[in-house]
Amino acid sequence: MITSSAPGKIFLFGEHAVVYGKTAIACAIDLRAHVTVEEAPSIQMKGPGGSIDLNPRKHPYIYSVVERFKDLTDVTGVNIDIHSDIPVGSGLGSSAAVTIATIKALDAYYGTNLSLEDIAHMGHQVESEVQGRASPTDTFVSTFGGMVQIPDRKKLGFYDMLIVIGNTGKFSSTRKIVSNVAALKERHPAVIGQIMDTISAISETGIEFIQEGDFHTVGELMNINQGLLDSIGVGSKELSELVYASRKAGALGSKITGAGGGGCMIALCEHKNLSRVAHAIKRAGGDSFICRTTHAGVRIE
Active site residues: 138
Stretch that binds ligand PMV, among 10-18, 37-45, 105-113, 205-213 (CB under 6 A): 10-18
CB 10 within 8 A of CB 27: yes
Stretch that binds ligand PMV, among 16-24, 50-58, 208-216, 279-287 (CB under 6 A): 16-24
Is residue 226 near ligand PMV by the rule CB under 6 A?
no
Q: Enter the DSSP assignment of 88.
A: T
Is residue 29 near ligand PMV by the rule CB under 6 A?
no
CB 255 within 8 A of CB 266: yes
CB 185 within 8 A of CB 197: no
CB-facing half-sphere around the CA of 228: CA atoms within 13 A: 24
| 252 alpha-carbon distance from chain centroid | 21
Helix/strand/coil for 204: helix
Among 123, 258, 262, 286, binds ligand PMV (CB under 6 A): 258
Among 15, 107, 238, 241, binds ligand PMV (CB under 6 A): 15
Give φ, ψ of 85 to 5 degrees: -85, -10
CA distances from 267 to 141, 152, 293 (A): 20, 25, 12
Shortest distance in whole angstroms from residue 137 CB to ligand PMV: 6
Stretch that binds ligand PMV, among 15-23, 35-43, 141-149, 216-224 (CB under 6 A): 15-23
Among 178, 184, 201, 228, binds ligand PMV (CB under 6 A): 178
Instruction: Please give the Cα distance from 165 to 167 (Å, whole number).
Output: 6
Is residue 123 near ligand PMV by the rule CB under 6 A?
no
Shortest distance in whole angstroms from residue 10 CB to ligand PMV: 8
Nearer to ligand PMV, 3 or 172 (CB): 172
Find the binding residues for ligand PMV in span 268-297 (CB under 6 A). Answer: none
Shortest distance in whole angstroms from residue 233 CB to ligand PMV: 12
Among 5, 174, 200, 273, binds ligand PMV (CB under 6 A): 174
Site size for ligand PMV, by CB under 6 A? 11
Q: For residue 155, what are the contacts with CB-CB under 8 A and spacing of at least 6?
A: 144, 146, 147, 148, 149
Is residue 16 near ligand PMV by the rule CB under 6 A?
yes
Shortest distance in whole angstroms from residue 48 CB to ligand PMV: 27
Q: Enter the DSSP assignment of 87.
A: P
H or E element, residue 189: helix 189-212
Instruction: Please give the Cα distance from 125 to 223 (Å, whole number).
Output: 34
| Stated length of the chain | 301
Helix/strand/coil for 75: coil
CB 265 within 8 A of CB 239: yes
Among 6, 12, 18, 103, binds ligand PMV (CB under 6 A): 18
CB 244 within 8 A of CB 276: no
Nearer to ligand PMV, 262 or 297 (CB): 262
Is residue 91 near ligand PMV by the rule CB under 6 A?
yes
Is residue 236 near ligand PMV by the rule CB under 6 A?
no
Shortest distance in whole angstroms from residue 260 CB to ligand PMV: 8
CB 292 within 8 A of CB 94: no
Nearer to ligand PMV, 49 or 132 (CB): 132
Binding site for ligand PMV (CB under 6 A): 15-16, 18-19, 91, 135, 137, 174, 178, 258-259
